[in-house]
């Protein structure tokens, strides 16, 4: 197994990054490109041995990193951001080749956001403060103490952006990190290790291990030296992680699945509503926040559907490296099989495919819209994670809210309406961690992010991230009792 592979002209190390060194494994897994199923390389496949080594490296590096000043930590995070910005083109083409998302999106939005993740949390660290307050003359001082080694397990749909959404605040907080990227898209995590080392991050502060969750993930999440676990992924995997962490009472942050509604009221700007709905096909529907359940008020349902079909049918699906492409492939043959299974079972149960409803050549699935679906059906209740939307109608606000909230999820919701008061009423009643009104996917790192119900546990972003990645301490000082003769 070669130590380095070349992906789109970029050299990528296939080994783990542990304690500031590249570490090989006896076993490997094969990484394929979803664009054409070509083999990208054999990637080091870690297990309990590598997990133990990575946690030990993070544990050993923790005291010195925790004692590093806020100013120096922030400087190093900015240096990592500088490194990302110098390599945006390389990171973009490697990630597109590895996970199939649009190259134009990686160049213009995703990779610049990776750099911004580091800059934001570096700057937020320097302003992190809570004003002292008095209790009957006693002074209370709140501080954020580094917690210790953190295990961060990240998904395949936006690998580097979502990894750094966790890595940046964890490092800023003074913690050390073991990052385990998804095995379907591991390559940019390896490049991040190189960038961090070049920026001067001390050995052991950031460790990257690769492999299958069942082999290395369990060893990481059950380790008694791990002080925080953050995971983005599916509900079943989250349950296994929570069970694994329970023995040590390790705090968890879980950002899980979604089955988000997009509510279109009759008073909405219909062109805007259609644009928002078609946008849900972004990244071939492989977005946890996607509003996959279109709920449209009855008087405009027919016209909305007509305009939606016209616009969605014009989307160009193909090679994500082509600037003209709007929708790329699904990540993996197993995911493609899962998506098609959902659709075929829905059609067999009486749903109608207005557009799509079938596979295309390779790992591509046609953008699909299903109507005539029952509220309690699998296709309405369970996350598909592909380019598949359903459309239902409603008669008024109460029914809209009832349908919107009638799943086990609560990650996000989108509301299209021309009535400001209605927007306020409806958004207040929706069960969701994020509600967008007449917009979609506007995210600010200052805002709390996370889900309700089975969409997650906890919130991250701004001070909420530091609240999770730190041990909060309140120090209470008496107004007297000092020795005035101490010199």
Domain boundaries, the chain: 4-256+451-474, 261-437
Catalytic residue among 95, 150, 183, 288: 288
What's the pLDDT score for residue 481?
77
Query: What integer is the mean pLDDT of 448-454?
Result: 94
Distances (CA, A) of 237 to 49, 264, 324, 446, 483: 22, 33, 36, 28, 56
Q: How many residues does the chain have?
A: 487
What's the pLDDT score for residue 326?
97
Q: Cβ atoms within 10 A of the Cβ of 207, count? A: 29
Is residue 221 pLDDT above 60, yes or no?
Answer: yes
pLDDT band at 215 (very low <50, low <70, confident <90, very high): very high
Query: What integer is the mean pLDDT of 391-399?
Result: 97
Does domain 261-437 correspond to CATH entry 3.40.309.10?
A: yes
Is residue 378 pLDDT above 70, yes or no?
Answer: yes
Query: 75-120 pLDDT, tens per residue?
Result: 999 999 999 999 999 999 999 999 999 999 999 999 999 999 999 9
pTM above 0.75, yes or no: yes
Q: Cβ atoms within 10 A of the Cβ of 214, count? A: 10
The chain-wide mean pLDDT, for the chain, equals 96
Give percent above pLDDT 90 in the chain: 97
Distances (CA, A) of 304 to 227, 241, 274, 361: 50, 42, 7, 30
β-bridge pairing 352-355 and 368-371? antiparallel
Please confirm, yes or no, whether 439 is among the known catalytic residues. no
Please confirm, yes or no, whether 255 is among the known catalytic residues. yes
Dist. CA 286–CA 127, nearest whole Å: 35
19 close to 58: Cβ distance less than 8 angstroms:
no
Residues 6+ apart with CB under 8 A from 123: 74
What's the pLDDT score for residue 88?
97
Distances (CA, A) of 376 to 38, 128, 190, 349, 380: 40, 46, 43, 12, 7
pLDDT band at 485 (very low <50, low <70, confident <90, very high): low
Distances (CA, A) of 290 to 80, 99, 164, 281: 30, 18, 21, 8
At 379 the three-state DSSP class reads helix
What's the pLDDT score for residue 102?
97
Query: 224-260 pLDDT, tens per residue?
Result: 999 999 999 999 999 999 999 999 999 999 999 999 9
What's the pLDDT score for residue 82?
98
335 close to 386: Cβ distance less than 8 angstroms:
yes
**Which residue is associated with the tokens 């509510």?**
263
368 close to 397: Cβ distance less than 8 angstroms:
no
Catalytic residue among 90, 255, 297, 383: 255
Dist. CA 31–CA 98, nearest whole Å: 8
Is residue 484 pLDDT above 80, yes or no?
Answer: no
pLDDT band at 487 (very low <50, low <70, confident <90, very high): very low
Query: 179-213 pLDDT, tens per residue?
Result: 999 999 999 999 999 999 999 999 999 999 999 99
- What's the CATH superfamily of 4-256+451-474? Aldehyde Dehydrogenase; Chain A, domain 1 (3.40.605.10)
Residue 279 DSSP label: G
Dist. CA 224–CA 234, nearest whole Å: 24
Query: What integer is the mean pLDDT of 131-160?
Result: 96
Is residue 486 pLDDT above 60, yes or no?
Answer: no
Residues 6+ apart with CB under 8 A from 351: 370, 371, 372, 373, 377, 379, 390
């Amino acid at each position: 197994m070669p130590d380095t592979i070349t992906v789109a002209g970029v050299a990528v190390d296939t080994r783990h990054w542990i304690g500031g060194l590249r570490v090989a494994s006896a076993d490997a897994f094969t990484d394929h490109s979803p664009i054409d199923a070509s083999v990208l390389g054999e990637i080091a496949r870690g297990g309990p041995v590598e997990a133990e080594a990575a946690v030990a490296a993070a544990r050993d590096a923790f005291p010195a990193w925790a004692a590093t000043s806020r100013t120096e930590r922030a400087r190093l995070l900015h240096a990592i951001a500088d490194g990302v910005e110098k390599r945006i083109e390389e990171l973009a083409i490697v990630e597109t080749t590895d996970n199939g998302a649009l190259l134009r999106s990686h160049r213009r939005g995703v990779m610049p956001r990776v750099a911004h993740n580091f800059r934001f949390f570096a700057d937020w660290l320097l302003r992190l403060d809570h004003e002292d307050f008095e209790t009957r003359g006693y002074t209370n001082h709140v501080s954020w103490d580094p917690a210790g080694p953190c295990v961060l397990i990240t998904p395949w749909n936006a690998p580097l952006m979502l990894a750094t959404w966790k890595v940046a605040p964890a490092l800023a907080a003074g913690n050390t990190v073991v990052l385990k990227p998804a095995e379907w898209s591991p390559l940019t995590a390896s490049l991040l290790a190189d960038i961090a080392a070049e920026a001067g991050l001390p050995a052991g502060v950031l460790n990257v291990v690769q492999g299958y969750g069942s082999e290395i993930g369990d060893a990481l999440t059950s380790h008694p030296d791990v002080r925080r676990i953050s995971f983005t992924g599916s509900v079943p995997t989250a349950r296994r992680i929570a069970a694994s962490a329970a023995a040590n009472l390790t705090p968890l942050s879980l950002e899980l699945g979604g089955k988000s509604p997009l509510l279109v009221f009759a008073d909405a700007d219909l062109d805007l509503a259609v644009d928002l709905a078609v946008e849900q096909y972004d990244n071939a529907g492989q977005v946890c926040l996607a509003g996959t359940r279109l709920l449209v008020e009855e008087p405009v349902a027919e016209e909305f559907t007509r305009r939606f079909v016209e616009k969605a049918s014009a989307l160009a699906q193909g090679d994500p490296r082509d600037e003209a492409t709007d929708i790329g492939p699904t990540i993996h043959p197993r995911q493609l099989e899962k998506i098609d299974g959902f659709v075929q079972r829905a059609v067999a149960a009486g749903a109608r495919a207005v557009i799509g409803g079938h596979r295309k050549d390779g790992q591509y699935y046609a953008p699909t819209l299903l109507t005539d679906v029952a509220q309690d059906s699998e296709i309405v209740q369970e996350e598909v994670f592909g380019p598949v939307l359903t459309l239902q109608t409603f008669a008024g606000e109460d029914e809209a809210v009832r349908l919107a909230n009638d799943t086990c999820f609560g990650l996000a919701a989108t509301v299209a309406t021309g009535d400001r008061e209605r927007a306020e009423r409806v958004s207040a009643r929706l069960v969701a961690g994020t509600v967008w009104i007449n917009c979609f996917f506007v995210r600010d790192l200052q805002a709390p992010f996370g889900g309700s119900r089975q969409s997650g546990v906890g919130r991250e972003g701004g001070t909420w991230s530091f609240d999770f990645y730190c041990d909060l301490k309140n120090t209470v000082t008496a107004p007297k009792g000092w020795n005035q003769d101490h010199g």
